[in-house]
Protein backbone atom coordinates (compact mmCIF):
# COMPACT_ATOMS: atom_id res chain seq x y z
CA UNK A 1 0.00 0.00 0.00
CA UNK A 2 1.56 3.28 -1.15
CA UNK A 3 0.41 5.89 1.36
CA UNK A 4 1.72 8.77 -0.78
CA UNK A 5 -0.77 7.88 -3.54
CA UNK A 6 -3.60 7.75 -1.04
CA UNK A 7 -2.58 11.10 0.40
CA UNK A 8 -2.56 12.55 -3.09
CA UNK A 9 -6.08 11.20 -3.65
CA UNK A 10 -7.21 12.79 -0.36
CA UNK A 11 -5.71 16.15 -1.35
CA UNK A 12 -7.32 16.01 -4.81
CA UNK A 13 -10.65 15.14 -3.22
CA UNK A 14 -10.42 18.17 -0.95
CA UNK A 15 -9.51 20.41 -3.90
CA UNK A 16 -12.54 19.15 -5.83
CA UNK A 17 -14.69 19.74 -2.76
CA UNK A 18 -13.40 23.32 -2.51
CA UNK A 19 -14.30 23.87 -6.16
CA UNK A 20 -17.82 22.51 -5.64
CA UNK A 21 -18.25 24.50 -2.41
CA UNK A 22 -17.32 27.66 -4.32
CA UNK A 23 -19.96 26.81 -6.92
CA UNK A 24 -22.44 26.19 -4.10
CA UNK A 25 -21.56 29.55 -2.58
CA UNK A 26 -22.26 31.23 -5.93
CA UNK A 27 -25.58 29.40 -6.22
CA UNK A 28 -26.47 30.53 -2.70
CA UNK A 29 -25.61 34.11 -3.65
CA UNK A 30 -27.88 33.80 -6.70
CA UNK A 31 -30.58 32.53 -4.37
CA UNK A 32 -30.07 35.65 -2.27
CA UNK A 33 -30.55 37.82 -5.38
CA UNK A 34 -33.75 35.95 -6.21
CA UNK A 35 -35.04 36.53 -2.68
CA UNK A 36 -34.15 40.24 -2.74
CA UNK A 37 -36.05 40.94 -5.97
CA UNK A 38 -39.33 42.80 -5.63
CA UNK A 39 -41.19 40.22 -7.70
CA UNK A 40 -40.32 36.78 -6.38
CA UNK A 41 -40.00 34.31 -9.27
CA UNK A 42 -40.75 30.83 -8.00
CA UNK A 43 -39.42 29.13 -11.15
CA UNK A 44 -36.02 30.81 -10.78
CA UNK A 45 -35.94 29.81 -7.13
CA UNK A 46 -36.78 26.17 -7.94
CA UNK A 47 -34.16 26.04 -10.70
CA UNK A 48 -31.57 27.40 -8.28
CA UNK A 49 -32.56 24.81 -5.67
CA UNK A 50 -32.18 22.02 -8.25
CA UNK A 51 -28.66 23.24 -9.07
CA UNK A 52 -27.79 23.31 -5.38
CA UNK A 53 -29.14 19.78 -4.91
CA UNK A 54 -26.82 18.51 -7.64
CA UNK A 55 -23.83 20.22 -6.02
CA UNK A 56 -24.73 18.86 -2.59
CA UNK A 57 -24.95 15.36 -4.06
CA UNK A 58 -21.45 15.75 -5.48
CA UNK A 59 -20.16 16.91 -2.11
CA UNK A 60 -21.70 13.88 -0.41
CA UNK A 61 -19.98 11.57 -2.90
CA UNK A 62 -16.62 13.26 -2.31
CA UNK A 63 -17.07 13.04 1.46
CA UNK A 64 -17.86 9.33 1.26
CA UNK A 65 -14.82 8.72 -0.95
CA UNK A 66 -12.58 10.75 1.35
CA UNK A 67 -13.79 8.84 4.40
CA UNK A 68 -13.30 5.51 2.65
CA UNK A 69 -9.72 6.28 1.61
CA UNK A 70 -8.84 7.81 4.97
CA UNK A 71 -10.17 4.77 6.81
CA UNK A 72 -7.83 2.56 4.78
CA UNK A 73 -4.69 4.51 5.68
CA UNK A 74 -5.56 5.89 9.13
CA UNK A 75 -3.56 3.36 11.13
CA UNK A 76 -0.40 3.78 9.06
CA UNK A 77 -0.72 7.57 9.10
CA UNK A 78 -0.95 7.68 12.87
CA UNK A 79 1.96 5.29 13.19
CA UNK A 80 4.20 7.31 10.84
CA UNK A 81 3.06 10.92 11.34
CA UNK A 82 6.52 12.40 10.93
CA UNK A 83 7.10 10.68 7.61
CA UNK A 84 3.93 12.19 6.08
CA UNK A 85 3.93 15.47 8.01
CA UNK A 86 3.96 17.77 4.94
CA UNK A 87 1.21 15.87 3.18
CA UNK A 88 -0.93 15.87 6.32
CA UNK A 89 -0.44 19.64 6.72
CA UNK A 90 -1.49 20.22 3.12
CA UNK A 91 -4.66 18.16 3.58
CA UNK A 92 -5.41 19.90 6.88
CA UNK A 93 -5.11 23.28 5.16
CA UNK A 94 -7.48 22.15 2.42
CA UNK A 95 -9.93 20.94 5.07
CA UNK A 96 -9.73 24.37 6.76
CA UNK A 97 -10.57 26.05 3.44
CA UNK A 98 -13.55 23.71 3.06
CA UNK A 99 -14.70 24.50 6.57
CA UNK A 100 -14.40 28.26 5.96
CA UNK A 101 -16.48 27.96 2.80
CA UNK A 102 -19.05 25.81 4.60
CA UNK A 103 -19.39 28.39 7.38
CA UNK A 104 -19.85 31.19 4.84
CA UNK A 105 -22.48 29.16 2.98
CA UNK A 106 -24.33 28.35 6.22
CA UNK A 107 -24.44 32.02 7.24
CA UNK A 108 -25.76 33.03 3.83
CA UNK A 109 -28.29 30.17 3.92
CA UNK A 110 -29.57 31.40 7.30
CA UNK A 111 -30.09 34.92 5.93
CA UNK A 112 -31.78 33.52 2.83
CA UNK A 113 -34.04 31.31 4.93
CA UNK A 114 -35.19 34.34 6.92
CA UNK A 115 -35.89 36.31 3.74
CA UNK A 116 -37.72 33.42 2.14
CA UNK A 117 -39.86 32.85 5.24
CA UNK A 118 -40.97 36.48 5.00
CA UNK A 119 -41.69 36.13 1.29
CA UNK A 120 -43.68 32.93 1.78
CA UNK A 121 -45.62 34.45 4.68
CA UNK A 122 -46.49 37.45 2.49
CA UNK A 123 -47.52 35.20 -0.40
CA UNK A 124 -49.63 33.09 1.94
CA UNK A 125 -51.36 36.20 3.30
CA UNK A 126 -52.09 37.40 -0.24
CA UNK A 127 -53.48 33.99 -1.13
CA UNK A 128 -55.78 34.01 1.92
CA UNK A 129 -56.94 37.50 0.93
CA UNK A 130 -57.72 36.37 -2.62
CA UNK A 131 -59.66 33.37 -1.30
CA UNK A 132 -61.64 35.58 1.09
CA UNK A 133 -62.40 38.08 -1.69
CA UNK A 134 -63.57 35.36 -4.06
CA UNK A 135 -65.78 33.92 -1.32
CA UNK A 136 -67.40 37.34 -0.75
CA UNK A 137 -67.93 37.83 -4.48
CA UNK A 138 -69.40 34.36 -4.85
CA UNK A 139 -71.79 34.84 -1.94
CA UNK A 140 -72.83 38.24 -3.32
CA UNK A 141 -73.67 36.77 -6.73
CA UNK A 142 -75.49 33.86 -5.13
CA UNK A 143 -77.63 36.21 -3.06
CA UNK A 144 -78.38 38.49 -6.01
CA UNK A 145 -79.29 35.70 -8.42
CA UNK A 146 -82.99 34.97 -8.50
CA UNK A 147 -83.87 31.68 -7.02
CA UNK A 148 -84.80 28.89 -9.42
CA UNK A 149 -87.54 27.55 -7.17
CA UNK A 150 -89.72 30.64 -6.88
CA UNK A 151 -93.37 29.69 -6.57
CA UNK A 152 -95.92 31.59 -8.53
CA UNK A 153 -97.05 34.67 -6.81
CA UNK A 154 -100.48 34.59 -8.38
CA UNK A 155 -102.61 31.56 -8.35
CA UNK A 156 -105.29 30.97 -10.87
CA UNK A 157 -108.58 30.84 -8.97
CA UNK A 158 -110.60 29.51 -11.87
CA UNK A 159 -111.52 25.94 -11.96
User: What number is the average pLDDT over the span 112-127?
Assistant: 83
- Assess if residue 148 is contained within a domain: no
- Assess if residue 17 is contained within a domain: yes
CATH for 47:
1.20.58
- Assess if residue 7 is contained within a domain: yes
pLDDT at 123 over 70: yes
- Assess if residue 71 is contained within a domain: yes
Could you report the per-residue pLDDT of 62-84, keeping only the tens digit for each? 999 999 999 999 999 989 989 99
Instruction: Give the 3-state DSSP-derived string for the chain, with helices as H, strands as E and coil as C.
Output: CCHHHHHHHHHHHHHHHHHHHHHHHHHHHHHHHHHHCCCCCHHHHHHHHHHHHHHHHHHHHHHHHHHHHHHHHHHHHHHCCCCCHHHHHHHHHHHHHHHHHHHHHHHHHHHHHHHHHHHHHHHHHHHHHHHHHHHHHHHHHHHHCCCCCCCCCCCCCCC
pLDDT at 61 over 60: yes
Looking at residue 96, its pLDDT comes to: 98
Total domain count for the chain? Answer: 1
Boundaries of domain holding 72? 3-109
Amino acid sequence: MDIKKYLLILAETMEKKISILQALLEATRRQEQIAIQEDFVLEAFEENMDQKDVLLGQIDELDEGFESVFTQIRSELTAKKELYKDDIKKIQELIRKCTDLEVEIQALEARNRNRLELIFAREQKELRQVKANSKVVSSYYNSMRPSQNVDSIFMDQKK
